[in-house]
Structure 1
Amino acid sequence: MDLATLASGLDTVWVVLTAAMILLMEGGFALLEAGFVRQKNAVSIIMKVFVDITFGALIFYFFGFAIMYGKDLSGLIGTSGFFLGGDLSHIDLTISHETYWLFQCAFVIAVISIVSGAVAERINFHAYILFTIAMTGLIYPIAGHWVWSIGGWLGGLGMIDFAGSAVIHALGGFAALAAAVIIGPRIGKFTEDGTANIVPPSNLPLASVGAFILWFGWFGFNSGSTLSATNGSIGHIALTTMLAASAGGATCILFTMLRYRKSDPPMVINGSLAGLVGITAGCAFVSSGAAILIGAVCGIAMVFATEYLESKKIDDPVGAFAVHGVSGSIGTLAVGLFAKPELIEGLGQGYTGLFYGGGFQLLGVQALGLAIIIVWGFATTWVVFKLIRLVVPVRVSRDEELVGLDVGIHGVPAYSQDTDFIELDQLKR
């Protein structure tokens, strides 16, 4: 066996394993969101995660991957690779196209899961399925093509987003914001004078386990984006990922103690996630010190963003916008500030952060790309939900919301008391 074949085999194993780690993050999303919402809506969270995985994977296989990574048309959209067939010769990697699809499929599933939390406890299940198809088949693949594909126009300008602070998290976060605005707040969330009522999470230990699973999966998210088991930056990427997450959580512990006189558990959970989101764009290109700073800033910004949404009477039950939209934006811009020359070497001229003498070129490109992706994510989500409303209601009925989506929509509660067995003929009466 020659070295090239051996390297290809190692890369394939690495990418498949990290893709599996990212897919495990869906378990994290399920537990996190189920813990944050009320008991009567836990099953609905799980069902939406299953929609994300099943419909998301199929749609991305049918045409999402082709639109994202197919042969470029004017820097805007891919035109080959439907059903993983046709001409994909331009994707020149040491792994197969099937392996590459699997890794990218894990990413697209994560994007739609971000939106899931923002519309929890009141979205119509049919409407959610339709939006999942739109997000995984068009909205995300088109944005991803612009930045990551060969010939994409934002990538051609020099935008850097190593593992998706912009393409995945900012896009998903602002799509979540649009969806939350359109669908409206939960019944009773806000009083007539606009004051926000606290809706206590049903199970914070469950939510925290979900966050830990997401944290674990993030090492696959970031380190796996090397697409190579022999890439020397894997260790550095894992280090910056760990430090940013820790800084986000630690900052939230201290900041909420000062602000609320008590350390706020949901904020701390989301603070660590905010740090992870923030470091995703630049994990390979910033120093460990910059990673700590990025994580800390994202943690504090997440708290203010959460408070701001409530002041505007926008209901986001799990903090999807504050964690993903805000922190993804900060992380994308941070690349333009902190990208180190020795870490980013090989990408071309002008790819150096402002604080390392690179001037405003990279920062300007990052800001432009971020703005485009934010507008794209928000506007397309708004339009898609307006179109969905012509077909099915986007929100459940008042009675279904009050009784809970688990029973009202899916016909089964998440938790039930032990009872004696019921004879089948008794159910027929």
Structure 2
Amino acid sequence: MASLTCSADQLAQLFGSNTTNAAAATYICDHFTAVSQKFSDAASAIDSTYLLFSAYLVFSMQLGFAMLCAGSVRAKNTLNIMLTNVLDAAAGAIFYYLFGFAFAFGSPSNGFIGSHFFALKSIPTSSFDYSFFLFQWAFAIAAAGITSGSIAERTQFAAYLIYSAFLTGFVYPVVSHWFWSGDGWASASNTNHLLFGSGVIDFAGSGVVHMVGGIAGLYGAFIEGPRIGRFANPGQSVTIKGHSASLVVLGTFLLWFGWYGFNPGSFTKIANPYTSGSYYGQWSAVGRTAVTTTLAGSTAALTTLFLNRVVSGHWNVTDVCNGLLGGFAAITAGCSVVEPWAAVICGLVAALVLIGCNKVAERVKFDDPLEAAQLHGGCGAWGVIFTALFASEKYVNEVYPGKSDRPYGLLMGGGGRLLAAHVIQIVVIVGWVSVTMGPLFFVLHKLKLLRISAEDEIAGMDMTRHGGFAYVYQYHDEDESNKLGMQMRKIDPEDKS
């Protein structure tokens, strides 16, 4: 908000020098300044409250991840996967506080990595307050939660803690610095040095969050290999279903709800008029972003529903939920700078990308219990390209002010410079995560810290690693029991026989 000033000379110009003495001018100006400061304080409080509320919504996505993951795995691994989601948030909080936030937003810095604000030293500043840290921490742990789904049901607990700390404390913050910090080498906010004159428009993180988490999960799942029984017979895959479609749907709706903080909240401010006194301002852009998010996810869900119905002959609720989330992951990059009709196209193609990635994964015997690498990695990459194709000139200039003639979407008449920047984003994210998370998972594998034993995997980690079952009654998995020559029977945890 522009500051308002008042002086005796200004009052004299309005009322005449003979009608305004120094004492009266001082009195009037003091009160005028007090009122002006109150308006500025109110605007700051509104923006801070908006950002905090958005952070709470994004954090609620951790509950969504936990429920989605729990429903997507077998009952014998429920405790394990829920505990990993809790620790993603807890370990992520400590390491993002100590290192991550500084690496991401520690300004002034070079274009590669931040160098200030370790352990929040010197916060708050004129640039951001504690609420900004909380919001960015919620994003960091979302990336870690994506990876945990890819390596579910067969990963040692120590490996979860190591990768989660490394991802939230270093790998993810460096990427967010590149594309979101005002000093980042490819940031659309770095008006002193804009890549191809545009920078990368990844508004809420299709690349920064979803691709990072998805590619990290890709390496983890690939290095430790598929679950026992997933590709037991040559040339044939066996679907290992999660134990609770109800939890999958619950988790999906919680993630949907949280996405209204994830995407619209990325404005970080709401009390920002584009034209003073108008009904149209950043609050309108916030609403538009929520609409594009909704349309992309809904379109992807319906497209997945009908396409899989044609292929499988069934109306599959789990596929619909994954399709919905794929549409959300895709629209996240361009949610603020595209028209609602373009969001429908985004969701339609995202469903096709997800289905295609799943087919490729099955063909190469890649096992991801939650389809996280395909969903977040594949659909996230599509979202980055989609933004470079459909970003609107008007919305780009509103959301990213400060530079005239900024490139916008190729198919909207804005040329190919934005697309070039976004292709580079995809390449560098894949490269960075490959050279950081790939070696980490490989070293854990060589040290025998990554995958649990076959005996523990068959029995289930809840009993072998966590001291009991998530439910009062537990059943042996039918397929695995038959392979081991065991008869299907109900197990009562209280039965010591």
Q: Could you say whether these structures have the same fold, taking a TM-score greater than 0.5 normalized by the shorter chain as the test? A: yes
- 2:169 partner amino acid: G
**2:163 matches 1:131:** yes
- Kindly report which structure 2 residues correspond to 1:5-404, keeping only aligned pairs within 5 A, or say none: 5-86=41-122, 89=125, 92-93=127-128, 96=129, 98-155=130-187, 156-157=194-195, 158-230=199-271, 231-232=282-283, 233-346=285-398, 347=400, 348=403, 349-389=405-445, 393-404=449-460
Q: Which deviates the most, 1-10 or 330-339?
A: 1-10
CA distance in 2, matches of 1:297, 1:132: 31
- 1:247 partner amino acid: T
Summarize the Cα distance change of 1:414–1:87 in structure 2 as closer, same or farther, 3 Å threshold. Answer: closer
Q: Report the alpha carbon displacement of residue 72 of structure 1 after superposing the two structures with TM.
A: 4.7
Q: Report the alpha carbon displacement of residue 341 of structure 1 after superposing the two structures with TM.
A: 0.7
Summarize the Cα distance change of 1:81–1:421 in structure 2 as closer, same or farther, 3 Å threshold. Answer: closer
Q: Report the alpha carbon displacement of residue 74 of structure 1 after superposing the two structures with TM.
A: 3.0
1:408 pairs with one of 451, 454, 464: 464
Structure 2 unpaired stretches of 5+: 1-36, 188-193, 272-281, 475-490
SS in 2 for 1:152: coil
CA distance in 1, matches of 2:445, 2:493: 42
TM-score, normalised to structure 1, is 0.94
SS in 1 for 2:153: coil
Report if aligned partners of 1:180, 1:314 keep a CA contact under 8 Å in 2.
Answer: yes
Q: Which deviates the most, 298-307 or 372-381?
A: 372-381
**Superposition RMSD in Å:** 2.0
Query: Which of structures 1 and 2 has the bigger CA Rg?
Result: 2
CA distance in 2, matches of 1:198, 1:391: 30
Structure 1 unpaired stretches of 5+: none
CA distance in 2, matches of 1:326, 1:252: 15
CA distance in 2, matches of 1:299, 1:322: 11
- 1:63 partner amino acid: F
What percentage of aligned pairs have identical amino acids?
Answer: 35
Q: Report the alpha carbon displacement of residue 201 of structure 1 after superposing the two structures with TM.
A: 1.6
Describe the superposition over 1:75-97 as per-residue Cα deviations: whole angstroms up to 9, x where unpaired. Answer: 101111000004875x624xx2x
- 2:155 partner amino acid: I
Summarize the Cα distance change of 1:84–1:51 in structure 2 as closer, same or farther, 3 Å threshold. Answer: same
CA distance in 2, matches of 1:68, 1:421: 47
Report if aligned partners of 2:144, 2:213 keep a CA contact under 8 Å in 1.
Answer: yes
Describe the superposition over 1:167-220 as per-residue Cα deviations: whole angstroms up to 9, x where unpaired. Answer: 000111111111110111001110241411011220011101100000000000
Report if aligned partners of 2:472, 2:493 keep a CA contact under 8 Å in 1.
Answer: no
CA distance in 1, matches of 2:446, 2:239: 33
CA distance in 2, matches of 1:245, 1:7: 32
Q: Which deviates the most, 281-290 or 254-263?
A: 254-263
Summarize the Cα distance change of 1:361–1:420 in structure 2 as closer, same or farther, 3 Å threshold. Answer: closer
Q: Report the alpha carbon displacement of residue 142 of structure 1 after superposing the two structures with TM.
A: 0.6
Report if aligned partners of 2:223, 2:445 keep a CA contact under 8 Å in 1.
Answer: no
CA distance in 2, matches of 1:29, 1:280: 17
CA distance in 2, matches of 1:79, 1:52: 24
Aligned length: 420
- 2:127 partner amino acid: D
CA distance in 1, matches of 2:354, 2:286: 28
Summarize the Cα distance change of 1:281–1:317 in structure 2 as closer, same or farther, 3 Å threshold. Answer: same
CA distance in 2, matches of 1:194, 1:128: 31
- 1:274 partner amino acid: G
Report if aligned partners of 1:127, 1:392 keep a CA contact under 8 Å in 2.
Answer: no
